[in-house]
Amino acid sequence: MARAVRTWLTHLDVERGVSRHTLAAYRRDAQRYVRHLEAAGVTAPDEVREEHVASFLADLRRGSEEHPPLAATSAARTLVAVRGLHRFLALEGLAADDPAADVAPPRPPSRLPKAISVAEVSALIDATGPGDTSSSLRDRALLEVLYGSGARISEAVGLDVDDLDLDAGAVRLFGKGSKERVVPLGGYATEAVSAWLVRGRPEMLAKGRGGPALFLNRRGTRLSRQSAWAIISATAGRARLRGEISPHTLRHSFATHLLDGGADVRVVQELLGHASVTTTQIYTMVTVQQLREVYAQSHPRAR
């Protein structure tokens, strides 16, 4: 591998004419990559597999005694060098295939997810509307499902009645790529959905053509994402919550409150339907605020 790296760097310097700084950065990245491979017993280009590249990326994010963990942007830059190396080796016939082609770089989050407090979630749900109307029953059930299961808004409005198992307190969600997962529903969500099914949904269903959709609009057809968004926005206004409250706010709050309560990040990953735990770990950054508060209240010299 070391010889292959030297050949690649020479190509970049002589034929591609990359800058001195870029070449130095690629050399550092490649040397670290080679050390990672050697530690795994890999010494030749044809011995490298996709899992070796993926584990190197994971090590970049995790860090070691010699290297601090890299942010998503820095890890992605390092992966660019590794992918360039393997692409060159494959094109030049120095390796049979390109094991790095399908290893995607981490995507840096644009901002931390917004979560509201447990008290604010309760205030939001309590503001779904006065009385026992079909609309208020539907709105409460929708918000309880979003917060109780961590569902994306598209998953929630896509639910059919048959996707529910109220006896078991569970719901079947279809996420990105039609990936199916079954997640628990809490008692509050189960009660709200039961009330909607018995006392609210039949009235709206009678106005339409009928169908399997769980959440309906006033015309008796499936509730749209836009309408669900409008319901939550209007309810947040009645609850006098500050800032923009969106369907994803409830999903973020679901994850954050679980982690605050001691849930394992990999369990939250499964509940959210994330393909990678790296996506879920952003929520652990949100809960640092709770750690600061506990520290300030508990440590004798925190102040």
The amino acid occupying position 164 is L
283 carries an active-site annotation: yes
33 carries an active-site annotation: no
Any residues with CB less than 8 A from the CB of 188 and at least 6 apart, and which? 125, 144, 148
Residues in the chain: 303
Any residues with CB less than 8 A from the CB of 238 and at least 6 apart, and which? 127, 129
248 carries an active-site annotation: yes
Collapsing DSSP to helix, strand or coil, 137 comes out as helix
String of DSSP letters for 78-101: HHHHHHHHHHHHHHTTSSSS-TTT
- Residue tagged active-site, from 32, 36, 251, 252: 251
- Residue tagged active-site, from 176, 179, 207, 292: 176
- Residue tagged active-site, from 35, 114, 218, 248: 248
Q: Which two tokens stand for residue 91?
A: 């094109």
Alpha helices in the chain, H assignment, sequence order: 2-10, 20-39, 50-62, 72-91, 118-126, 134-149, 153-157, 187-195, 201-205, 225-239, 247-260, 265-272, 277-280, 282-286, 288-298
- Residue tagged active-site, from 152, 222, 252, 257: 152
Q: Which two tokens stand for residue 229?
A: 């968004």
Q: How far is CA 207 from CA 149, 202, 204, 217, 228, in A?
A: 29, 9, 5, 9, 19
179 carries an active-site annotation: no
- DSSP H or E stretch at residue 170: strand 170-174
257 carries an active-site annotation: no
d(CA 115, CA 241): 12
Q: Which residues are known catalytic residues?
A: 152, 176, 248, 251, 274, 283
